[in-house]
Structure 1
């Protein structure tokens, strides 16, 4: 009896060949597996202008002759994964995609297979406009090869370059600061100031019997915690650029204290989260900050009230724009390093008991544009007093303050694709923000 090759075997070979050719035309390598494969037909390797990057993607090819896919219409369709394939892929150390080839119209679509799928929810939803395997998918495929764990990650996308914004603001310091001896500890000094008749202020640092501040303690409530006859004004640079690391750390703490005092009317401090956040002006009330971004005037809700969507509408939580600060010295320049984040309360004032899940959900929706927009927004907020001071009707102020320069930009040879900014939940929508999408 003569041997025969079935039509299904031929169709499978045609499908793999078509997919391999498509990957090659996209600039990727594609190596087929042996006939012993159990659920992965080939390995695609990302290349940049002919240079292999040793970043691999496991590919499963499914070919059909001409039949329509499930729920197919002009915009998309669904595809049900086999439970056996999912079980096999669970142990994979490579990202996995499924590629669907239809011979009748030579269409090739692809989709990432996430290994945390519920066994009862094995449907993949394909978008005919966005899920075509062609040159437009190159950056998204390259992003799959980067592990999304650890302190940070970067994948070299294969498109053009862009300017990256660095989340640091150079500081202009007051030229003079005041030092004095004191017999108070920081805790004792705070208790004394809180008990005084004058408003307490904490724009100072005490360490080892020494008091430092940018404000003259003889002219404010701090006269109660220093040795008045020992107060001396000195050049700020003497301590700001001291070579001793302990002195540098003390100066960094002074910068944080002075900064907190400077923004106290608008920003609160969370000791638990170690972050500054926009204060609410009233209970369960939104707050908007209008500013001029790099291209146009815009605004954003820096305090956002989330209302439940049920019949009995109620406030679920209040989200505040926030950032974690760090003051760093690089050579002969001090910087404020900001890490944008969010702070959650129940009504604008009471900290939320379980903010972790809310923060994780919001972070999943953030992309490079929104992060960049937040950095710009914080810069505009911190430099608002300087712009107001130039106003014709501005009131003169002699109080020393920290001033903030423009965040620097770095020219990147390649563009950062949006796909590498976390893994949004399936079905998640973009955040409702008016911040300018500067990476668009």
Structure 2
């Protein structure tokens, strides 16, 4: 064989091997990408399932304390929604058939039971002792399942394992085997409710939906970018020329946007109000208590021109403390207006402000005619569940799903387990409008 032929064959062979290697590499990368995508799908489904079951646990506890038909129907609808979401998430996971059937039956029975309670609420009948016991049992087992799912997630994290490669984690959790088998008759409950109406929820007061016109800015004059820079500089205690103009923006409210170093601030185009401020910072240690953070945040609100407010909930994380403030009416009634929300985040090192969000306040604050309630506190208290002990009462204005407002008596109550529950009774009709569980721990005070 000629030398040139050998060289040519060697070149062809090398080229072939390179092409083959490339194809194999592409195939391997494609397989790895598919596995990564599948793993992400599993992880997301596992997180969703855990969130839904944990939510069901809280809703089941609330359901035991609901005392009027309207709120009973709302809570039942929430249980039905959570049950369906949990089953959808579970269908994605590689559970064994045995485990799938067991958990699915448990979730379905909770949904069916919620429909039965909703139907019963139409007759204005109070929950029976047996029904209360069933709700308590369901809550307990929802807690068992929540803990089992948390165990799976923790082990996957610690062992840096893949859901797809460790299906045994999903099929060898003893707690799942102890899920109850309720009476078969529950499967037939409320079959006629094949299409339950879709309901809208505001959720916790701090996160109600912001869809309407900014009431506080209505009718106010438009300012220029230069005037907005003056407002921003005054808030930041700097000179306007130290700011960089970033144009306009804002999600709910149109605003001029400026930056200064690692800070960003928004000033509303109408009225020139500070809508939002955010500063990025790492806080190495926590020196201040919540009380000291509250004092610092309150001082910042007064400096911003907001003098009448009341703190409600707060959360501490990463050596930072975020506090929710609501407007406190200065009229004689002294009503807490929860829709008029301002959030202030203070760093717990030196007490400097890291975030200021007045969107809720600007969207909802306006001049209100707050009249004396038709029901006094003692009369309204009669509609609080007898399973709760009322500790205190106050008047509060709360948002509704329709983005209106309703005056309520806010009752801070104690439940049988020593936990705290907030119940809102309509100050005009006496209807039970809303109910929240207070969650208190080292991270703060929140509502669920």
Higher relative contact order (CA 8 A, sep 6+): 1
TM-score of the aligned structures, taking structure 1 as reference length = 0.26
The structure whose residues are more often helix, as a share, is: 2
What TM-score do you get using the length of structure 2 for normalisation?
0.25
Higher strand share: 1
